[in-house]
Structure 1
Amino acid sequence: MNDMFVVCGEALMDVYVLGPTPTGLHLDARIGGSPFNVAVGLARLGRPSALLTGLSRDAAGERLMHALQAEGVDTRLVLRSDAPTTLSVVSVDAGGLPHYAFYGHGSADRAIDSARLPALPPQVRVLQFGSYALVVEPVGSALRALAARERDRCLVAYDPNVRLNVEPDVARWRTMVEAMVALSHMVKVSDEDLGLLYPDSVPGEVARRWLSLGVQLVVLTRGARGSEAWTAGSHVAESAAPVEVVDTVGAGDTFQAALLTWLDEQQALSVAGLAALDAQRLAALLRFATRVAAITCSRRGADMPRRAELPAD
């Protein structure tokens, strides 16, 4: 299997404030970022994946690079720089409510411009885009240009993964999401994101409008309420898999990696293949992705499963 998946977007450190020390704060920094997670999830599911991102040469960037290499993610498209690593700092107040502070201005993962975009290897078949890298500059413009340039050669998949703590302007998010949807063949979105972007629309209306723009497959995740999928000819809904939830960190990223994996294994990862999915196959796709994401929910953090951990169908 020589075809490659390239995931485009950010890689960062989630920094958890665990409490005070006599001279400061006890911090726990974890590798992360939605695109980073999707690339690792694909590799663990047996797909050849690469991450196109900017990584710092600082200690956090070195840790992210080491993690990619340890997971078998191709790093030839990683652009190194002396800019700092993005930090997402999470603290919990006395009432148990989380608070988020984001430190990303001038960081390595958003410093990519069109002139620095690396050439894609010829075996690249799928480009996966997602999260805040599409709405910050200069990397957002560079990645949108990449999608426009390659969409006739590669299948373009997209997950908005709205993060208002990075860009609080919902109107800007909506504009950028619409621009990316128009370039995409497959879109996966959460009900939470749709509620932020289109509070006055029901999901089916949004899905059908996106299909009219040229998207071949729209998938909606609804957490404990399951998932739905639409093509031009079919619509299906599936229940969530029963699971004892430890946390849901990385569940959406796992779901996306699992969607791409199932479609690849079923030889449906093409524009024609997506268009040909009938209701029965759509239901099987959702069941597979739900089962994979449930394993992540049963474990602490974004600990995504490997292909061998999944029961045979």
Structure 2
Amino acid sequence: MFVVCGEALMDVYMGEWTATGMTLDSRIGGSPLNVAQGLARLERPVAFLAGLSTDACGERLLASLRDEGVDTSLVLRSDAPSTLSVISVDAAGVPRYAFHGTGAADRQITLDTLPPLPKAARVLQFGSYALAVEPVGSALRALAARERERLLIAYDPNVRLNVEPDLARWRAVVEQMVSIAHLVKVSDEDLGLLYPAETPPQVAARWLERGASLVAVTRGPHGASAWTRAAQAEVPSPETEVVDTVGAGDTFQAALLTWLDEHDALTPEALSALDPASLADLLGFAARAAAITCSRRGADMPRRDKLS
């Protein structure tokens, strides 16, 4: 079983003004939630470990997880509010973001309240801002460190400066998690923010030296690359008519884990042993999955029968 740890939230889009206010369009969101639902659609057994509110938004997020077949037994409920990411567009068409998450339910997890993991757990997936805010960040990082010798640890930084604007804080969290994780997937955009003076191959080499077994870098329309200590591969992005890229990186991560599961490679040793041809197959599968998501509106991730 995969256990995805992180946050779930509502993306709230500001609409037209009305006589008494304005319209709002709320969408289910959160990178870890997307990864969990992506794994479920790819027919992987998956549980979600996160804090969810008992408010109306929290109920809707919980229902969406259950509707997708995600195990919600590790979800911790509280009466703290749900996180809202409010998105508006100015007169020039430029989006503006206002993040409302201080004191929200997804931050309430502590080391003392972490639920016991299922006996069937084989992989812990971490990512996004839940690792960088407190107290949940400390709890999840401690969980990753505690379980590193027993389970495969996967990590996607998914930097969100509108939540935590301090790049030094992000670098500290990323470097700590990279020293724990066996599989690290990161976008070239995040690498550009975190390490503008280093190339992706340089960062990958440094992370492998720190203990990662496999590092994958996504480059949007320019494809993806992956490295182990002994092998390297690169694939182009499939041709597709892009509607938007929402959820593409989360789909890529879910597909990486799915391919590794289907090829009995969910151990640090198996990751390190992947040869260039296998790395290319892995990246190609994940890129095809992400391309399908890009061809759809929002984080509408593919099901397993849509991928050859």
What TM-score bracket applies, with the shorter chain setting the length? over 0.9
- Distance, in Å, in 1 between the alignment partners of 2:156 and 2:101 is 20
Give the share of equivalent positions with the same residue, in percent: 69
**Alignment partner of 1:115: what SS?**
coil
Letter in 2 for 1:218: V
Which residue of the partner structure matches residue 248 of structure 2?
251
Other-structure match for 2:210: 213
- The runs of at least 4 consecutive aligned structure 1 residues that moved more than 3 Å come to none
Question: C-alpha separation between the residues in 1 aligned to 2:224 and 2:77?
Answer: 38
Q: Structure 1 residue 19: deviation in Å?
A: 2.1
Q: 1:172 aligns with which of 155, 169, 173?
A: 169
SS at 2:112's partner residue? helix
Alpha-carbon distance in structure 2 between the residues aligned to 1:305 and 1:58: 29
| Structure 2 Cα separation of the partners of residues 213 and 78 of structure 1 | 32
Q: Does 1:303 align with 2:300?
A: yes
Is it true that 1:146 corresponds to 2:146 in the alignment? no
Counterpart AA for 2:32: P
Match of 1:134? 131
Q: Separation in 1 of the partners of 2:18 and 2:122?
A: 49
1:114 alignment partner, SS class: coil
Shift of 1:258: 0.2
1:104 corresponds to which of 83, 101, 117: 101
Query: 2:43 and 2:270 mapped to 1: Cα distance?
Result: 20
Supply the AA of the counterpart residue of 1:190: S
1:203 equivalenced with 2:187 (yes/no): no
Q: Which amino acid aligns with 2:190?
A: D
Unaligned runs of 5+ in 2: none
Give 3-state SS (helix, strand or coil) of 1:84's partner: coil
How far does residue 138 in structure 1 lie from its aligned partner after superposition?
A: 0.1
Q: TM-score, normalised by structure 2?
A: 0.99
- Are 1:266 and 2:263 counterparts? yes
Is 1:182 aligned with 2:179?
A: yes
Match among 47, 50, 55 for residue 50 of structure 1: 47
Of 31, 48, 61, the match for 1:64: 61
Distance, in Å, in 1 between the alignment partners of 2:231 and 2:270 is 14
Question: Any idea what SS the aligned residue of 1:46 has?
Answer: coil
1:90 aligns with 2:87: yes
Residue 39 of structure 1 corresponds to 36
2:284 corresponds to which residue? Answer: 287
Query: Any idea what SS the aligned residue of 2:216 has?
Result: strand
How far apart are the structure 1 equivalents of 2:219 and 2:75?
A: 32
Structure 1 residue 187: deviation in Å?
0.2
Whole-angstrom CA distance in 2 between matches of 1:43 and 1:149 = 26
User: Cα RMSD over matched residues?
Assistant: 0.5
The one-letter amino acid paired with 1:191 is: D
**Any idea what the Cα deviations from partners look like across 1:48-96, whole Å, max 9, x if unmatched?**
0011000000000000000011100000000000000000001011111
What is the match of residue 192 of structure 1?
Answer: 189
How far does residue 302 in structure 1 lie from its aligned partner after superposition?
Answer: 0.2
**Is 1:15 aligned to residue 12 of structure 2?**
yes
**1:77 matched residue in structure 2:** 74
CA distance, structure 1, for counterparts of residue 198 and residue 56 of structure 2: 44
The alignment partner of 2:62 has SS state of: helix
1:308 positional shift: 1.2
The 2-side partners of 1:295 and 1:25 are apart by: 33
TM-score by length of 1: 0.98
CA distance in 1, matches of 2:139, 2:36: 19
Secondary structure, in 3 states, of the residue corresponding to 1:149? helix
Q: Quote the offset at 1:156 in angstroms.
A: 0.1
Secondary structure at the residue paired with 2:15? strand
1:236 Cα shift? 1.2
Q: Would you say 1:275 and 2:268 are equivalent positions?
A: no
How far is the alpha carbon of 1:285 from its aligned partner?
A: 0.4
| Unmatched tracts of structure 1, length 5 or more | none
- Structure 1 position 309, deviation (Å): 1.6
